[in-house]
Structure 1
Amino acid sequence: MGRTPDADVLVDDRLVAELLAEQHPDLADRPLRLITNGWDNTLYRLGDDLVVRLPRREASAVLIEHEARWLPELAALLPVPVPVPERTGRPTWRYPWSWTVAPWLPGRSALGLAAAERAPLARPLADTLTALHVPAPADAPHNPVRGVDLRLRDVAVRGRLTASPSPAAPALAELWTELVDTRPWQREPVWLHGDPHPGNVLVEDGRLVALIDFGDVCAGDPVTDLAAGWLFFEADARAEFRVTADEARGYEAADWRRARAWALVLATALDAHSDDDPDMAALAAHTFAQVLLPENP
């Protein structure tokens, strides 16, 4: 397996404090606390109620711009809160990209729950994701690795499986061969979240309370989001997730075959870049096991 990509720009306490002082001085006296250096972004808690989100790689800089542009509109579609930016920061000589200040949403990551503990999320998660799956405008973002024809991901998936240490890799490669040519999405492109794993859902007392990290938001085939059925759940909860999504949007059997394939796409990415993140490695292993279950569509 690989590791989280290295940062192109070092984001530290001093840089964030200087950017705030220059561009949002009314926020500059609030305490700053590093939350995480993720795959794409560095997050700082700003006081009690805000979070500063800064890209750490050039490849992810445009994703922040997509969130700032589209989240104010998409939030109105969704039944749970999302981190709509309240402020934006512009590039300067100190830092080359746009950045945002958004509300701090309470709750804990669903990644910290066992799959069985995530079962109560099946219906509300399906309701939340399918609420987003409405036709997207012509100027919606395109993402070359989300919501696209599965065949465009063929080389990457096969390469990851060849390199994977998972004992399930040969069976997963055989499954991928069965699924990759499934009939593509036949309808117009819709909005999708694009990164539907448990780390991007916040829970409180077993309830889904927020959907976060819309960096991969784009228009395309919504089944990238339906892959959540395998990333989050075991068989019984996944069945409930599927029934709920079908009630909302009338997905077909071919859509669920592609969703299963997208779960494999996402799990191979997690597997390839998670040797410094045991939670993500465990999520990849869980998803591999789930997509291989024979009762899956």
Structure 2
Amino acid sequence: MDEKALVRTLLEEQHPDLSGLALREVEGGWDNRMWRLGEDLAVRMPRSPRAPELLRAEHRWLPDLAPRLPLPVPVPMRLGAPSARFPHLWSVTTWVSGHPADLAPVTRGTRALAAFLTELHRTAPEEVPLNPLRGGHPREAVEDLEEYARGIADPAHMDGILEVWQAVADAPAWHLPPVWLHADLHPANVVSREGDLAGVLDFGELCAGDPATDLAAAWVLLPDGSADAFFAEYPADEATVLRARGWALLRSLVLIQIGRAGDQGLPGGKPTWKPAGEKALSRVIAPFP
């Protein structure tokens, strides 16, 4: 049975009221393969070992968060149970219209992103998990930044990378209560419409921690020269801005690495991520204030 037929059969067995809707495969996805269901819904089918738990976390928390967020997000509507046909949990969510920003970059979104993160970054309940590798200090996420960067970045950029990283490494850690985090904001996880930031996708990494990890989006998602305007809309202290820049540096390098793997035809590679990462890196290492 091909995958489309499998999805249709699972819907017929577990959610028959949805089984008659049109089903179209959507390109992309990392942990999950996605299918558009009718005009307003999507089916997400795990394809990595960790994907079912990420879907479960979204189903637990996102319906409570979504009503106060000022941008559309994929709200979980149904869970599919593991079965003999498909041994993993799967999900039906609302559909968020737009084009992934690795294909159609955001050219206008400073205020929209600042408003979104202002609403998201409220103190998280104690039961929301912490994730130091995504919501801690960026210096905790990589053992040797210089060694990692030299394997990815253009050698001409290394001085700028190391200058930024030194300032980041010296920045104090977040000392206030952990806040809600998306924790995976990069161009493939947001959508644009005619250049406007139009929605935020994939909350599987949802956790609590330092807002700096999300504030990295000021460099990773927004066009050149937008960071100052963003932080005028989302006031943050100097240390938080530095940590955000550090997370933006790391995220840019990851995008380039995954994009390069795509250029080489390697599994998991995403060719469109390389130019997005290179543009983000150029913004991050622009002359440091």
TM-score exceeds 0.5: yes
Q: Which residue of 2 aligns with 1:140?
A: 128
Q: Which residue of 1 aligns with 2:174?
A: 185
Q: CA deviation at 1:139?
A: 0.9
Q: Which residue of 1 aligns with 2:94?
A: 103
The answer to whether the Cα contact below 8 Å between 2:219 and 2:226 also exists between their aligned partners in 1 is no
Distance 2:27 2:224 in 1: 32
| Cα 1:141–1:156 shift into 2, 3 Å | farther
> How many pairs were matched up?
280
**Unaligned runs of at least 5 residues, structure 1:** 1-9
Task: In structure 2, give the amino acid aligned to 1:122.
Answer: T
Q: Which residue of 2 aligns with 1:127?
A: 115
Distance 1:243 1:293 in 2: 19
Q: CA deviation at 1:141?
A: 2.7
Task: In structure 1, give the amino acid aligned to 2:286.
Answer: L
For the aligned residue pairs, the C-alpha RMSD in angstroms reads 2.2
Q: CA deviation at 1:130?
A: 1.6
Say yes or no: does 1:43 pair with 2:34: yes
Percentage of identical aligned residues: 39
Distance 1:130 1:20 in 2: 37
Say yes or no: does 1:270 pair with 2:255: yes
Q: Which residue of 1 aligns with 2:246?
A: 261
Q: Which residue of 1 aligns with 2:155?
A: 167
Say yes or no: does 1:292 pair with 2:285: yes
| Cα 1:160–1:107 shift into 2, 3 Å | same
The answer to whether the Cα contact below 8 Å between 2:55 and 2:204 also exists between their aligned partners in 1 is yes
Q: Kindly provide the CA deviation profile for residues 35-70 of structure 1, in whole angstroms up to 9, marking residues without a partner as x.
A: 024221100111222110122101233111111111
Distance 1:253 1:69 in 2: 34
Distance 2:171 2:218 in 1: 18
The answer to whether the Cα contact below 8 Å between 1:197 and 1:231 also exists between their aligned partners in 2 is yes
Q: CA deviation at 1:280?
A: 0.7
Q: Kindly provide the CA deviation profile for residues 229-259 of structure 1, in whole angstroms up to 9, marking residues without a partner as x.
A: 111234532211111011xxxx100000000
Q: Which residue of 1 aligns with 2:21?
A: 30
**Unaligned runs of at least 5 residues, structure 2:** 263-269
Distance 1:221 1:238 in 2: 18
Q: Which residue of 1 aligns with 2:187?
A: 198
Say yes or no: does 1:224 pair with 2:209: no
Q: CA deviation at 1:169?
A: 5.4
The answer to whether the Cα contact below 8 Å between 2:167 and 2:242 also exists between their aligned partners in 1 is no
The answer to whether the Cα contact below 8 Å between 1:66 and 1:141 also exists between their aligned partners in 2 is no
Task: In structure 2, give the amino acid aligned to 1:123.
Answer: R
Task: In structure 2, give the amino acid aligned to 1:255.
Answer: T
Distance 2:131 2:2 in 1: 25
Task: Give the 3-state SS of the residue equivalent to 1:188 in structure 2.
Answer: coil
Distance 2:75 2:195 in 1: 23
Task: In structure 1, give the amino acid aligned to 2:221.
Answer: F
| Cα 1:34–1:241 shift into 2, 3 Å | same
Alignment partner of 1:72 out of 56, 63, 86: 63
